[in-house]
Structure 1
Amino acid sequence: MGEHSDGLLMILIAGLALFLGYRGFRSWVRKPFTLRSGIGFEMNEEIVEHPAVNLLEQAGYEVVSDKLKVPLAFRVDGSILHSRLFIDYIAVKNREFYLVRTARERLPIEWTGSGLRKELLPYLLLYPECAGLLYVDAEQGILKEIALTTDEDEDESALEGTWRTL
């Protein structure tokens, strides 16, 4: 009986190893592709008092950096073109970082899918490790949390709390 039980046990262990290997491989293949940005930023710890900072703090965020300039360079047919993005603040809540953009009277955002793509997608793609972007309109007392998602993630729990008026 010892010979048969050892062989059966080996077949059972091999089957379990194959099953776990298959599940791990399948999970790895289905893992969503994410961009990783090599563009970092240094925190600007001197935070100037502003109504947007007060609004963020009232909503439970801690502002950890003031305005930042992110330099960008594009290579086009051998030439280098320069540009930059501006981040108004960086805030933290529940140990997650958020980029912050404040409302600008001269540059209103069109609150449609294409409007958000045009104005805010570069920020979300440059820093995918951030939990999202906060849009603050201090005059209106509005704080919007924006995160890049897919249609598959569209359930009610993912959409709750994305619009706050304080």
Structure 2
Amino acid sequence: MGEYSDSLLMAVIAGVALYLGYRGFRSWVRKPFTLRSGIGFEMNEEILEHPAVDLLEAAGYEVVSDKLKVPLAFKVDHQILHSRLFIDYIAVKAGEFYLVRTARERLPIEWTGSGLRKDLLPYLLLYPECAGLLYLDIEQGTLKEIALTTDEDEDESAREGTWRTL
């Protein structure tokens, strides 16, 4: 009986290992694709007095870096094209980093999905390790926290009866 039970035990262990391997592979395949940025922060620790800094601190954020210029280079065919993105501040709250953009009168944000995609998505994709982006309107004294999310984060009951087109 000992030889039979050893064979049965080995078959059960092999079956469990195959099942766990299948589940692990399936979850790995279904895992969403994430971008990893090779562009790190070069903190500008000289923080100048500004109403934006006061607004962030009043909201519970700690400003850890002043204005940053992020150089970008694009290779098109065999030509290098240069550009840059500007980050107004980097703030921390509860151990999470946030990029900060301030409102500009000559560059208003369109508060629609496509408007946010056009104006703010590059920042969120460039630094996916950040918790989000803070948008400050100093004149109105408002602060909006923007994070990239999916529809799966919504409550299932809120989506009942809605139609989706692809």
Q: Common fold, TM-score beyond 0.5?
A: yes
Runs of 4 or more consecutive aligned structure 1 residues displaced over 3 Å after TM superposition: none
| Per-residue Cα deviation, 1:69-114 (whole angstroms, up to 9, x for no partner) | 0011122232222111100001111211111001111111110111
* 2:13 is the alignment partner of 1:13: yes
Is 2:24 the counterpart of 1:24? yes
Shift of 1:24: 0.9
Q: Distance in 1 between matches of 2:94 and 2:155?
A: 22
Q: Give the counterpart letter for 1:152 in structure 2.
A: E
C-alpha distance after superposition, 1:137-161 (max 9, x if no partner): 12212111111122222349xxxxx
SS at match of 1:130: coil
What is the CA distance between 1:55 and its match in structure 2?
A: 1.5
Q: 1:134 is matched with which residue?
A: 134
Q: Secondary structure at the match of 2:130?
A: coil
Instruction: State how 1:1-166 maps to structure 2 within 5 Å.
Output: 1-155=1-155
Query: What is the TM-score when the length of structure 2 is the normalising length?
Result: 0.88
Using the alignment, how far apart are the partners of 2:16 and 2:93 within structure 1? 42
**1:37 Cα shift?**
1.4
- State the identity as a percent: 88
Structure 1 length normalisation: TM-score? 0.88
Question: Which residue identity is paired with 1:30?
Answer: R
Distance (Å, rounded) in 2 between the aligned partners of 1:75 and 1:3: 66
Unaligned runs of 5+ in 2: 157-166
Amino acid at match of 1:148: L
Separation (CA, whole Å) in 2 of partners of 1:155 and 1:104: 34
SS in 2 for 1:82: strand
Partners of 1:125 and 1:9 in 2: CA distance: 49
In 2, Cα distance between equivalents of 1:106 and 1:123: 19
- Output the CA distance in 2 between the equivalents of 1:154 and 1:144: 19
Using the alignment, how far apart are the partners of 1:85 and 1:155 within structure 2? Answer: 35
Q: Considering only aligned residues, what root-mean-square deviation do their CA atoms show, in Å?
A: 1.4
Structure 1 CA distance for aligned equivalents of residues 136 and 93 of structure 2: 15
Deviation at 1:46, TM superposition (A): 0.8
Provide the secondary structure at the position in 2 that maps to 1:123. helix
- The amino acid across from 1:74 in the alignment is F
